[in-house]
Amino acid sequence: MIGLKCSLRVRYVIYNIKLKRMKKKLKVSAIRNGTVIDHIPAGNLFKVIAILGLDQVEGQITFGTNLDSGKLGRKAIIKASETYFEDDDINRIALIAPHAKLNIIKDYQVVEKKVVEIPETIRGIVKCFNPQCITNNEEITTFFQVVSKNPIALKCRYCEKITGSDQLTMK
Amino acid sequence: MKKKDLISITDYTREEYLRIMELAGEFEKNPNQNLLAGKVVASLFFEPSTRTRLSFESAINRLGGKIIGFADSDNLSVKKGETLHDTIRMVSSYADLIVIRHPLEGSARYAAEISPVPVLNAGDGANQHPTQTLLDMYSILKTQHTFDNLNIFIVGDLKYGRTVHSLLMAMSQFENPIFNFIAPDELQMPQEYKLYLREKGIRFFEHKEFTEIISEADIIYMTRVQKERFSDPIEYEKVRNVYILRNAMLNNTKPNLRILHPLPRVNEIHPDVDKNEKAYYFEQARNGVFTRQAIIAHTMNLK
């Protein structure tokens, strides 16, 4: 009986050690130089890749998705080797990854942290909610003035209608 | 020099509104001026609008310009699938000015981006119709001799009526306007415009029907209550006769009151009002020609 208890105890301890190791292990391997974009909602990973043009860059890109996150439930992370972004470029993902955090990596160390900010104007990315808008009837890049950031409200340059947060869909 | 398009009523400053009024006054005194001689204006009506088109074409003719274009999209390259982009690219190489009417919202702004020659919006779907608003303003100025301290009643479809929204934005640039809105529940003034008025500290009042309060009005701006705007036909039947202006209702109104309507009307102004000197809607339509002459002259830097 005592033997059985001991063996259960040992197995439990081993399990915990394994679990800790698993937790510590990086899900996406580290980069030497470049940018890490964390806290991307898992469902929007590929949109972020497309908006930032990461499918076009020369450097190595690694990403992971459906990772556990307290804040988002399921998050995605992108590590872009030897790739850096201008603030204006990175802010383009603000609508689909408002909580995204950027770490700029130099020699495996985080040298700068950035958060995304919703810009004053948004070109492309978002669809105008108005089916009668010319942008939904002809091949035109949309353009919006951000009239409110929280809750989000975007005024279409063309039809002048306001797309609200509950009507927001991506192109 | 940057080309001066007129796409939205907010494209003009307060000073430009006043400049157009001044020019419209000049054209009313002397309508036939050969300022557009040798120029070609493209009149592109992708949907029919007899009144606006004829008014524009009359203005262009009185200025001595030549017109090319079409009155609806039936016999068009559009029917063959040509994009608005390509139509505008082509036409802008034939003409010195483009007047466009199009059923899709934002089409005029898009045309202005593509075209190297100036574009005037003659109505883009339910969005904007700025030349209508300027002729409404000219009618107000002509009859009231001021834009300040006016009590303006707007009646009917305040939710979808584009002329109503533009008029409200334009008149808000002047001193101390008061707005009274009369509309059924389903067609009330949208929140964004009420918010705009509140932010500017402009007084407005909302009513569900005509009352004796119209005795305070300087301007009554009537619009059509359209059946297709109602989700429930019973609701339309309930209100269809509530927003009809009749001559007897004008008995105790101010002597300077004038009744405006962008036309066409259906039944919202009873024909017995037509004989009343306060009925101004037919003169209003006539003012459209002078106002459009003024807008063309301003756009083309002819004056």
Which residues of chain A are in CATH 2.30.30.20 domains? 121-167
| CB-closest option in A137, A156, A162 to B104 | A137
Average pLDDT, chain B: 94
How far apart CA B176 and CA B150 sit, in angstroms, is 7
Cβ atoms of A171 and A126 closer than 8 Å: yes
What are the beta bridge partners of residue B41? B67, B97
Statement: residue A73 has pLDDT above 90: no
Query: Would you call the peptide bond into B184 cis, given omega within 30 degrees of 0 as the criterion?
Result: no
Tell me: the pLDDT tens digits for A22-38? 555 566 778 999 999 99
Tell me: pLDDT of A21 over 70. Answer: no
CB contact under 8 A, A158 and B8: no
Please tell me the distance in Å from B38's CA to the nearest CA on chain A: 32
Q: Which of residues 61-120 of B touch A (CB under 8 A)?
A: 83-85, 102-107, 109-110
In this prediction, residue A2 has a pLDDT band, given cuts at 50, 70 and 90, of low
- Report the predicted TM-score, pTM, of the whole model to 2 decimal places: 0.86
Residue B70's DSSP bridge partners are: B44
If pLDDT is split at 50, 70 and 90, which confidence band does B76 have? low
Residue with tokens 């202006």: B245
Residue A100 binned pLDDT confidence (cut-offs 50, 70, 90): very high
Rounded to a whole number of angstroms, the distance from the CA of B109 to the nearest CA of chain A is 6
Q: Residue A11 above 80 pLDDT?
A: no
Contacting residues for A158 by C-beta, under 8 A, at least 6 apart: A128, A133, A134, A135, A140, A142, A143, B105, B106, B107, B109, B110
Mean pLDDT of B227-236: 82
All residues of chain A having their beta carbon less than 8 Å from the beta carbon of residue B190 are none
Whether A137 sits inside 8 A of B109 (CB atoms) is: no
Write out pLDDT tens, residues B140-182. Answer: 999 999 999 999 999 999 988 889 999 999 999 999 999 999 9
Q: What is the fold, at CATH topology level, of the domain defined by A34-115?
A: Alpha-Beta Plaits (3.30.70)
Task: Tell me which range, A17-26, A44-53, B34-43, is most confidently predicted by mean pLDDT.
Answer: B34-43
Q: How many CB pairs under 8 A join A and B?
A: 49
Q: Could you tell me which CATH class the domain A121-167 is placed in?
A: mainly beta
B36 — pLDDT class (breaks 50, 70, 90)? very high
Residues A35 and A103 sit within 8 Å (Cβ to Cβ): yes
- For chain B, the helix, strand and coil percentages under 3-state DSSP, each to the nearest 5: 45, 15, 40
Closest CA to B280 of B263, B252, B257, B260: B260
Residue A165 pLDDT class (50, 70, 90 cuts): confident
Specify the higher pLDDT residue, B79 or B144: B144
**Chain A residues with CB-CB distance to B127 below 8 A:** 159-161
More confident position, B212 or B271:
B271
Most confident range, picked from A3-12, A147-156, B155-164, B278-287: B278-287
Own/partner contacts of A117-122, CB < 8 Å, gap of 24 or more, are A117/A87, A117/A91, A118/A91, A118/A94, A118/A146, A118/A149, A118/A152, A119/A88, A119/A91, A119/A92, A119/A94, A119/A146, A120/A145, A120/A146, A121/A145, A121/A146, A122/A92, A122/A95, A122/A146, A122/A154
Q: How confident is the model at residue B26 (pLDDT cuts 50, 70, 90)?
A: very high
Chain A residues with CB under 8 Å of B102 CB are 134
Q: What is the ipTM of this complex?
A: 0.90
Largest CA distance in chain B: 57
Please, how many CA atoms are within 13 Å of residue B196, restricted to the half-sphere of its CB? 15
The arithmetic mean of pLDDT across residues A112-118, rounded, is: 93
Residue given tokens 């310009």 in the structure block: B65
Quote the minimal CA–CA distance from B249 to chain A in Å: 37
Name the residue among B83, B84, B105 with its Cβ closest to that of A130: B105
CA atoms within 13 A on the CB side of A78: 28
What pLDDT, on a 0 to 100 scale, did the predictor assign at position A19? 60
The CB density around residue A17, as the number of other CB atoms within 10 Å, is 10
Does residue B1 carry a pLDDT above 80?
Answer: no
Q: Residue A24 has what pLDDT?
A: 52
Instruction: Report whether pLDDT(B233) > 80.
Output: yes
Which among B263, B296, B264 is positioned nearest to B31, based on CA atoms? B296
Least Cα separation, residue B22 to chain A (angstroms): 29
Question: Is the pLDDT assigned to residue B5 strictly greater than 80?
Answer: yes
Provide, as residue numbers in chain A, all residues whose Cβ is less than 8 Å from the Cβ of B83: 138-139
CATH 3.30.70.140, chain A: domain bounds: 34-115
Active site residues of B: 51-52, 80, 101, 129
